[in-house]
Structure 1
Amino acid sequence: MKRHKRTRASARLLGLSAAVLSAAAAAFTYTAATGAAAPNEETERSANPSSGATRTVRYDLGDEAWKLPQTGEPAELTGVVHYPANLGTGRHPLIVMLHGWHETCADRKADAARTAAEASGDDAAYEAASAMLFAWPCAKGTPALPSERGYDYVARELAAQGFVVASVGGNGINASPLSGDDNPAARADVINRHLRMWQELSSKGKGELAGKFVDPATGAARRVGFAHHVDMGNVGIMGHSRAGAGATWQAADSHRRQWPKGVDVKAVAAVAPAYNVMTEDMSPYTITKTPFATFRGTCDGQVGGEAFSFAADAAKGNRSGFYRFAIHGANHNYFNTQWSPQSRQVAAFDDATPVKGHPGQCTDREDAAPTRQLTEKQQRHVATTYLGAFFRRHLLGDTGQDQVLTGARHPDAAITDVDVTATAPST
Structure 2
Amino acid sequence: MKIRRALIALVVLVPSVVTAPASAETFLPVDPGASGAYKVDVRDYHLGDRVVDIPAFKIKSELTGRAYTPVGAPGRRPLVLFLHGIHVPCYAKGMDPDELMEWPCPKGSKPIPSYAGYDAPAKALASQGYQVVSISANAINLADFDTQMTGSLARAQLVLAHLKLWQRWSTHGDGPFGRQYVGKVDLQRIGLMGHSRGGEGVARAVQLNADLGEPFGIRAVLLLAPGGFLRPNLPGVALSVILPYCDGDVSDLSGQRYYDDTWYSMTRDPAARSTVLLMGANHNFFNTEWTPGRSVADSDDDWTADDKAEPCGKKSKQRLTAVEQEAAGRAYMAGFFRLELGRETALLPLLDGSNARARSAGRAVVSVMAQSPRRYDVARLDGASGVLTGSARTRVCASDCVRNPYGRYPHWVTDPPVEHLPAGRVTELSWTASDGRLRFDLPVGLRDVRQYDVLSLRAATEKATDLSVRLTDGHGRSASVPVSTVSKALQPLPGKLADLLPKVMLQTVRIPLAGLPVDLRDVRSVEIRTDRVARGTAYLADLSFSTPSLSHWRPRMLPVLSVADVDMVEGDSGPRTADFKVRMSRVSPRPVTFWAEASGDFTSDVVAPFHARVTIPAGHRSATVKVPLRPNKRDGDDVTFIMVLSGSTDAMIGRSLADGIVRDDDPTPAITISPGVGTEGRGGVVFQLKLSAPSDRGANLTAELRSGTAKLGTDFVDPEGGLYPQVDAGKTTGQFVVPIKDDKLREKAETFAVVITAADGAVLKVPYRVQGTIRDND
TM-score of Structure 1 vs Structure 2, range by shorter chain: 0.7 to 0.9
- The one of 403, 410, 423 equivalent to 2:349 is 403
1:287 to 234, 237, 252: 234
Residue identity opposite 1:31 in structure 2: E
Tell me the CA shift for residue 225 of structure 1.
1.9
Shift in Å, 1:233: 0.4
Which residue of the partner structure matches residue 51 of structure 2? 65
Distance 1:176 1:234, change over 3 A: same
Give 1:87's aligned residue. 73
Partner of 2:191: 236
Paired residue for 2:99? 132
The equivalent position to 2:260 in structure 1, one of 313, 329, 351, is: 313
Q: Secondary structure at the match of 2:27?
A: coil
Query: 1:338 maps to which residue?
Result: 289
Residue in structure 2 matched with residue 191 of structure 1 by the alignment: 159
Aligned twin of 1:394: 340
Which structure 1 residue ranges, 4+ long, deviate > 4 Å from structure 2? Answer: none
Structure 1 SS opposite 2:223:
strand
Shift of 1:36: 3.0
Amino acid across the alignment from 1:230: V
**Counterpart in the other structure of 1:322:** 273
- Retained in 2: the 8 A contact 1:61–1:78? yes
**1:101 match:** 86
* Aligned equivalent of 1:211: 175
Instruction: Please give the alpha-carbon distance, in whole angstroms, between the structure 2 residues aligned to 1:37 and 1:382.
Output: 11
Q: Counterpart in 2 of 1:272?
A: 225
* Cα distance change on mapping 1:392 and 1:29 into 2, 3 Å: same
Unaligned runs of 5+ in 2: 1-21, 375-548, 550-778
Q: 2:134 aligns with which of 167, 171, 174?
A: 167
The equivalent of 1:6 in structure 2 is none
Q: Deviations over 1:99-139 (max 9, x none)?
A: 110011012223xxxxxxxxxxxxxxxxxx34323311001
The answer to whether the Cα contact below 8 Å between 2:38 and 2:73 also exists between their aligned partners in 1 is: no
Q: TM-score, normalised by structure 1?
A: 0.75
Q: In structure 2, how many angstroms separate the alpha carbons of the residues matched to 1:176 and 1:301?
A: 23
The structure in which a higher percent of residues are helix is 1
Residue 79 of structure 1 and its aligned partner are, at CA, apart by 0.5
- State whether residues 78 and 186 of structure 2, in contact with CA within 8 Å, keep that contact through their aligned partners in structure 1: yes
Higher relative contact order (CA 8 A, sep 6+): 1
8 A contact 2:307–2:313 mirrored in 1: no
Aligned partner of residue 335 in structure 1, secondary structure: coil
1:33 paired residue number: 27
Q: Calculate the TM-score normalised by the size of structure 2.
A: 0.42
Higher share of residues assigned strand = 2
RMSD of the alignment, in Å?
2.4
Q: 2:31–2:331: 8 Å Cα contact kept in structure 1? A: no
Inter-CA distance 312–305: structure 2 relative to 1 (3 Å threshold): farther
Which entry has the higher C-alpha Rg, 1 or 2? 2
Matches within 5 A, 1:46-65: 50-65=36-51
Distance 1:50 1:211 in 2: 29
Structure 1, unaligned runs of 5 or more: 1-27, 39-48, 111-128, 214-222, 365-369
Structure 1 CA distance, aligned partners of 2:26 and 2:171? 42
CA contact (8 A) 2:85 2:194 kept: yes
Q: 1:109 to 1:242 in 2, by over 3 A?
A: same
1:248 equivalent to 2:198? Answer no
Is the Cα contact below 8 Å between 1:355 and 1:361 reproduced in 2?
no
Give the CA deviation at 1:75: 1.2
Alignment deviations for residues 203-235 of structure 1 (CA, whole Å, 9 cap, x no partner): 222xxxx2314xxxxxxxxx6621101011000
- In structure 2, what is the equivalent of residue 154 of structure 1? 121
Tell me the amino acid that sits aligned with residue 58 of structure 2: G
Deviation at 1:184, TM superposition (A): 0.7
Instruction: Note closer, same or farther for the CA distance 1:375–1:37 as it changes in structure 2 (3 Å cut).
Output: closer
- 1:45-71 superposed Cα distances (whole Å, 9 cap, x missing partner): xxxx94231111111110011232123
Is 164-173 or 64-73 further displaced after alignment? 64-73
Q: Go from structure 1 to structure 2 and tell me whether the alpha carbon gap of 1:100 and 1:66 turns closer, same or farther (over 3 Å shift).
A: same
Q: 1:323 is paired with a residue of what secondary structure? A: strand
